Amino acid sequence: MTCRLSIRSLLLVACAFVATQGRAADATSLTPFKESGSDAPAPWHFVGLPGQTKPRTRFAVVELDGRKALRVEAEESYGNLVHPVRLTGPSATLAWQWRVDVPIAVANLRTRQGDDTAVKVCVSFDMPPDLVPFVERQLLKIVQLKSDEPLPTATVCYVWDTNLPIGTELDNAFSRRVRYIVLESGPAGLRQWKSEKRSLIADFTKLFGAESPKVPPIIGIGIGADADNTHTRSLSYVANIVLEP
């Protein structure tokens, strides 16, 4: 793998979860999805790849099973919906409900060709750059020159996968600055709502604790789906997402 490929890969992944500090930078809670038939309310906003030319994952607020939900549809596309926050404290939990109606059967998060998810919920942390391993830190500096917004140095993504066992933890195939935890998997739970609640402090410590002895501030919550690497389609929903200090 060449250095140029490493820089490009890191750029693609890191820019996906930018938390714009100019938008509700002091927010410690998430704006709920309220009106069906509309886009997600601000400060939720779309974040894609820099100069993205491929299709964008589509997000819309709908009513499903008596609840307001975010409809997330990927079709050979890429995209995330990001809510900036600023949360520092000894504890924090994130709770939400989600369901997958159309999974990505050929997804394989261990490879770049298969690195697609029908739905993921991600949390970005503002880890001090000097704690990032040297090579990745140098790449981040180069990437930052290509972005107008601060880039997260550590991101934890919870995914609903098709093939990996529940509880699997792994690095993103493009960059170790993003790490996955598989919470749901397989066909048994399709088209059914599942409830999740995670300790963000515990999960950061488990995935990034070897790099950072202290849990840094949380700067963004993201919801995403992508099917650009597998050239497929997925459909999912996320509802009642709540961030609790």
- Please state the domain count of the chain: 1
- pTM for the structure as a whole: 0.88
CA distance 241 to 19: 17
Q: What string of pLDDT tens digits covers the 245 residues of the chain?
A: 333 334 444 544 555 555 444 444 557 889 999 988 889 999 999 988 777 899 999 999 999 999 999 999 999 999 999 999 999 888 899 999 999 999 999 999 999 999 999 999 999 999 877 776 666 766 666 665 565 556 678 999 999 999 999 999 999 998 888 999 999 999 989 999 999 999 999 999 999 999 998 999 999 999 999 999 999 999 999 999 999 98
CATH number for position 25: 2.60.120.260
Domain of residue 163 covers 3-244
Residue 93 burial (CB < 10 Å; 0-12/13-18/19+)? Answer: middle
CA distances from 31 to 11, 124, 128, 210 (A): 28, 17, 27, 33
**The two structure tokens encoding residue 121:** 């919920």
